[in-house]
Chain A
Amino acid sequence: MQDAVLAMLAKEPSHGYGLRARLRQSLGPLGESMNPGQIYVTLARLEKAGLVVSERADGLPERPDRKIYALTPAGQQRVAAWLAEVGWPKPDLAEFHLKLVAASAARLADPVELVGAQRRELLRRLREAQHAILAEAAESKAVLLLEGVVLRLQADLRWLEACEQAWSRGADAFDRAWGEGEAGAQGGAKARGGAAAWDGVEGRFKAGGGRGDDRVEGV
């Protein structure tokens, strides 16, 4: 956020409220959730760090939102560095993955159920983003941002689908691998126990599908 605000000042010095308006315009509906005060907090931090300077606009009462902010040379360097940077936010999948593994191993919860719940949640988010896109004018730049959100959600949903398939079909294998990794020679016994536990999963399918006596194996 700090970098983005700095970069917006690179064009010309600006009021806090002007910056906020430009941010909101770029973010589209996603910007609406932004805290109105957040921009001033950010600007104050930047000023403290010596990256921006502020001066009061002439002839106006002294109010924080009437200050005009401008970049310092250090601020300009920081903007250049930011633009050159190729870092990318890392998706945090490990946490969810470990959640499934742990839930399965300790038999705390059915991993397939967890995946399902997560999937429903992501679908709802996707739905919101999607509706936001459809509500936006086609030429709005915010559509691109929303499109990015949608594509990431789609990627996550596909991963969840893979998770679901792996956990519902290959539960034994997963469990065995886990058991062997943990206790070596005792793995065989554990696997048998695991297989018994997974009847519970089948049971869930039976409940969900109504009937399920002759399920067709393999797809």
Chain B
Amino acid sequence: MLLLAVTVATATLAMGLSLRGASDALYVQTRAATAGPDVVALSGDTGRAVTSALTGLADDPEVVAHHGPYQIVYADLTTRGSATSPVVVHGFDERPAAINRPLLTSGRWIRPGGTVLERGFATELGVKVGDRVTIEGRAYPVLGIAVTAATSIYPWAAQIGPGGGPSNYTGLAWMTRADARELAAAHDLPVTTAIDLKLKDPGATEAFREAHRFPAPRVNLHSWQFNAEQDARILRNSEPILIVGSWLLAFLAITGVAALATGRALEQTRRAGLLKAVGATPALIATVLLTEYLTLALAGEALGLAIARLAMPALASPTASRIGDLGGPGTGTVIATTVLALVVAVLSALRPTLRALRTATVTALSAAAHQPRRRPWLTALSALLPTPLLLGLRLTARHPGRAVLQAGSIATTVFAIATLLALFAEPVRGYGLNGSPALPNLRDAHDRRLLLAVTALLIVLALVNAITFTWTMAIEARTNVAIARALGATPGQVTAGLSAAQLLPAVPGAALGVLLHLGLRWLLTAGNAADAPVPWLLGAALATVLATAALTALPARLAARRPVARTLSAEAT
């Protein structure tokens, strides 16, 4: 249980933390493989002035090599499956240049009449080498698929829009210079002129940009760092989802494990008493008790990191626009996950350990459960309720701390589900033409998948928690359950009572989860984001509560059916 919880939480946290670094790492590797330029100069204007301004840049002493200028044509591309997307066509030489040399991942390089598609774009379109695509009415065979570091990943291949304006979600294709020129001319398409530059000092792109400010014509200088940053934009939401998700998962892990730990507290108290009796110091006892949890937590952490490493490529690179391997998690990530694992272990073990230490040796050895606190008002209230609720309330009153944990666990789950619902309720702008959903919005899809996964993990953990809670409670309450049975409570009443004991904290927990979600959205988005419909939210909360009830019914039922006579006799000796 602890192992599972810590594994899930650390994996999530590790992924969240190393996401940005992973995206950068992939860009750097792609850049190395494709001789990516340090700076790309683009101008949406036309005319001789533009060309001379761009070629003038190449004469700068800082520049050691250049490629271009070349034309970028804004067009529409339709696949045979009739998905249509904006595309920018780069007019390139048939021979690879010294810099900005797109790396073919399949097929061959451009020839007259044929095109090569950028890999992220091709993947999204579902296009393979040998397929035909239609660009502005003319069919081109797809000769190859390639990746480049000169532009940002799909769908941000356009860099600047037509005439230097804003751009849409756009894919990237390459053609020969002649084909590109012909395409632009035939349909009178907007064109941008670009030149790729390699600097003496690749780190000095900012200084280079400062040194070259054009009043006219307008020239945009895009550094490789800018592209790398742009790449990470697709992960903009992933990071918080994963990091917040890992917090929530860690919280659930702590609640679940704490419940389990208190369930075992009696045994542990006895063990501590035994150690004390043979002369162990409190420090030694604490070490012994904590070690068990720490070992498990660290094992969970290692497992979590391994999972994170395996899952990272898919997570960090939702598009196919980049190549390269990801190393293991960085030192910072490992430190963070270790801290998380330690916190979980210590928080879980703290209470039972402290209690075990505080209990006097003799009391511990003859270990009866801790002195129950009494809540007269609860008992008075419960006397008015039907029997199952009565039993439930009294069982809840027995462990107020656990009820709070249980409520927290449910609140977390409902909160996650509500967030998921809200995201799904948001209108989606697809990557197709004019936001057509023919091509799905990769970033949203990625976010959704991620949130779905995190939520699913949260739900699983919450379910495990609910069962753990019920089971611990059933075990702890077994004497009382047996007494109640002997006094004439039916198994049904006892089952209902145990389930009710879980539901009592679950209901306020669910309400809290919904409120938390609404509050957070109101704070963060000031009401302009789409909210999940209220019936959905209520439904989710209700479903969570009902699922808890159903899940707890099974252990409760088993507990209720335990033979009374044996329990009572066992307690007597």
Touch test A–B (CB under 8 Å): no
List chain B positions with a Cβ less than 8 A from chain A: none
Interface residues of A (CB under 8 A from B): none
